[in-house]
């Protein structure tokens, strides 16, 4: 009998002038970037939280606290690998992931497939099993004023 587990993740970061904008494992050219203790990659953080949620293992802040200098400026791809290992250790496989990034500027369409390719390769899944979507906030709220960026992710895990 196949056992399934669903997980949901959400993350948010402030945007600031002159910071780097790391998103989906890539450095996106833009005059503003996300502020955080790590490289502040909201998409990876949302996916990590979805994976951790699916195995009821808390959240990313619990495993990689922003008070620990060890994680200062860390490449979030390394965090994703560590989280994936926790999933695999429990004999779960990733069915599929669906994520949405909310960002006013820049347009992300030209970068989406490169992000999918980068993250699918880290997670060792088919690119067709990793969906990444992007939306603006129609100039409303903190996303719309370009004060911040957020991302949501859902994941389905299964164990045969
Ligand atoms: Mg974060």
How far, in Å, is the centroid of ligand 1 from the Cα of 125? 23
How far, in Å, is the centroid of ligand 1 from the Cα of 42? 5
How far, in Å, is the centroid of ligand 1 from the Cα of 138? 23
pLDDT of 133 reads 98
pLDDT tens-digit map of 38-83: 999 999 999 999 999 999 999 999 999 888 888 888 999 999 999 9
Burial of 155 (0-12, 13-18, 19+ CB in 10 A): buried
| Strand order, beta sheet including 3-17 | 32-35, 3-17, 148-159, 93-102, 130-135
How far, in Å, is the centroid of ligand 1 from the Cα of 101? 13
Is residue 142 within 8 A of residue 104, CB to CB? The reply is no
How far, in Å, is the centroid of ligand 1 from the Cα of 88? 23
How far, in Å, is the centroid of ligand 1 from the Cα of 37? 8
What CATH number belongs to 3-159? 3.30.1330.50
pLDDT of 93 reads 98
Instruction: List, for the chain, all residue ranges whose pLDDT scores fall below the cut of 70.
Output: none
DSSP H or E stretch at residue 62: helix 60-63
pLDDT of 130 reads 98
Q: How far apart are the first and last CA of the chain?
A: 6
How far, in Å, is the centroid of ligand 1 from the Cα of 98? 18
Q: How far apart are CA 43 and CA 156, in angstroms?
A: 17
pTM for the structure as a whole = 0.97
């Amino acid at each position: 009998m196949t056992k399934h587990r669903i997980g949901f993740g959400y993350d948010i970061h402030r945007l600031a002038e002159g910071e780097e904008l790391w998103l989906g494992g890539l450095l996106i050219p833009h005059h503003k970037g996300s502020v955080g203790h790590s490289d502040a990659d909201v998409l990876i953080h949302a996916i990590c939280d979805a994976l951790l949620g699916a195995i009821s293992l808390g959240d990313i802040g619990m495993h990689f606290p922003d008070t620990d200098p060890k994680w200062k400026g860390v490449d979030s791809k390394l965090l994703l690998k560590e989280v994936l290992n926790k999933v695999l250790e429990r004999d779960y496989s990733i069915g599929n992931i669906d994520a949405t990034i909310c960002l006013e500027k820049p347009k992300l369409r030209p970068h989406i497939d490169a992000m999918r390719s980068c993250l699918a390769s880290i997670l060792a899944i088919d690119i067709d099993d990793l969906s990444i979507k992007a939306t603006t906030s129609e100039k409303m709220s903190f996303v719309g004023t370009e004060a911040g960026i957020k991302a949501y992710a859902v994941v389905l895990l299964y164990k045969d």
